[in-house]
Amino acid sequence: MALTYEDLLSLHRAEKGTNALSSLPEGFDESLKQLLLETKERAASSTDGIKVLENARRASIALLSLRRQKILLRAIANDGKVEGATERENKFYSSVKKICNEEDEWIDEMAAARGKSAYLKKEDENASENLQAAKNENNRAKILKKVRMIKDIVDAYRGADGESYGPFKAGHLVELPQSEAEWVIGKGMGIEENGNGQGENSDPNVMYVTKAVKLIRIKADMDIPEYSNPDGQSYGPFKKDEEGVLPEEEARFLERGKLAHEVRE
């Protein structure tokens, strides 16, 4: 078939549009050779012909360079025969693949002769540490902890383990995997409760409550920033209309200041 400059542009666009190697028209190499010879003859007789030749040359290079990149990637990946390649491109692929195989063999020989390099040993150590960390996290997920909710979690949510949790109501006692319980406690939405019902929390920024303290459900009448009482206990923050559970003394303090009011069920 006769090949034109427009055909080259069309083939290049098609090549850019796919990760696979596009099939070229039968006899493409010979047709391309004929096109370049004809444009070269035109260039010898006119200024316009020089421009046509340069455009054809650039379009040819753009198309064939892109195809070579794809062939190189497949040779490096040892993907086997390249579908859609011309006879000339298959020879190029075989040559590159041979070089890649020789490189792989050289690496294998060096590894066998010298043993593992310090870098590879470090990689193995890191992999072992990561595996142990994953096992530890899995064990943590199997341990259940009791958590007393001090804030509502209105909507169900998906935890780091992919499981669904909630919704939870302030004041309720829930059992959660250790990692999820630590997240809830760390966010100030709950406190850990031991077997005797006593609240436990090593974080000074999270409210500590025991069963001996009467809990009151409150609703904020305005935004309340995080604050500390005279004992150094931290509370909040609460958004306007947000509900939460507080020790009775603290709830009454907010009521007197017209910052919140008790929610009576």
Whether residue 127 lies inside any domain: the answer is: no
Question: Is 95 in the same domain as 202?
Answer: no
Mean pLDDT of 31-47: 84
Question: Is 92 in the same domain as 162?
Answer: no
Question: Is 70 in the same domain as 162?
Answer: no
Distance CA 91, CA 251 (A): 83
Question: Is 32 in the same domain as 98?
Answer: yes
Whether residue 118 lies inside any domain: the answer is: no
The pLDDT confidence band at residue 3, using thresholds 50, 70 and 90, is confident
- Could you tell me which residue, 228 or 91, shows the higher pLDDT? 91
Q: How many domains is the chain partitioned into structurally?
A: 2
Whether residue 131 lies inside any domain: the answer is: no
Question: Is 25 in the same domain as 100?
Answer: yes
For the cut 60, the answer to whether the pLDDT of residue 141 exceeds it is no
Question: Is 163 in the same domain as 245?
Answer: yes
For the cut 70, the answer to whether the pLDDT of residue 137 exceeds it is no
For residue 221, the model assigns a pLDDT of 92
Question: Is 173 in the same domain as 226?
Answer: yes
Distance CA 231, CA 250 (A): 11
For the cut 50, the answer to whether the pLDDT of residue 70 exceeds it is yes
User: Which of 91, 111, 131 is where one domain is finished?
Assistant: 111
Instruction: Tell me which of 1-10, 15-24, 105-114, 228-237 is least confident.
Output: 105-114
For the cut 80, the answer to whether the pLDDT of residue 148 exceeds it is yes
Whether residue 179 lies inside any domain: the answer is: yes
Instruction: Note down the domain range covering 158.
Output: 142-262
Whether residue 137 lies inside any domain: the answer is: no
pLDDT tens per residue across span 202-229:
444 333 333 335 678 889 999 888 877 7
Distance CA 190, CA 254 (A): 20
Average pLDDT of the chain is 77
- CATH number of the domain bearing residue 234: 3.40.5.50
Question: Is 73 in the same domain as 165?
Answer: no
In the chain, % of residues over pLDDT 70: 75
Whether residue 19 lies inside any domain: the answer is: yes
Alpha carbon separation from 101 to 12, 116, 120, 243 (Å, rounded) = 30, 20, 21, 67
User: Which of 111, 128, 158 is where one domain is finished?
Assistant: 111
Whether residue 116 lies inside any domain: the answer is: no
pLDDT tens per residue across span 150-160:
888 878 777 77
- CATH number of the domain bearing residue 16: 1.20.58.2050
Question: Is 200 in the same domain as 97?
Answer: no
User: Which of 111, 126, 154 is where one domain is finished?
Assistant: 111
**Six token digits for residue 121:** 């040993």
Amino acid of residue 20: A
pLDDT tens per residue across span 96-132:
888 878 877 876 776 565 545 555 556 666 666 766 6
pLDDT tens per residue across span 221-265:
998 888 777 666 777 788 899 888 887 888 888 888 888 999 886
Question: Is 153 in the same domain as 62?
Answer: no
Whether residue 240 lies inside any domain: the answer is: yes
In the chain, % of residues over pLDDT 90: 5
Question: Is 62 in the same domain as 160?
Answer: no
- Could you tell me which residue, 137 or 87, shows the higher pLDDT? 87
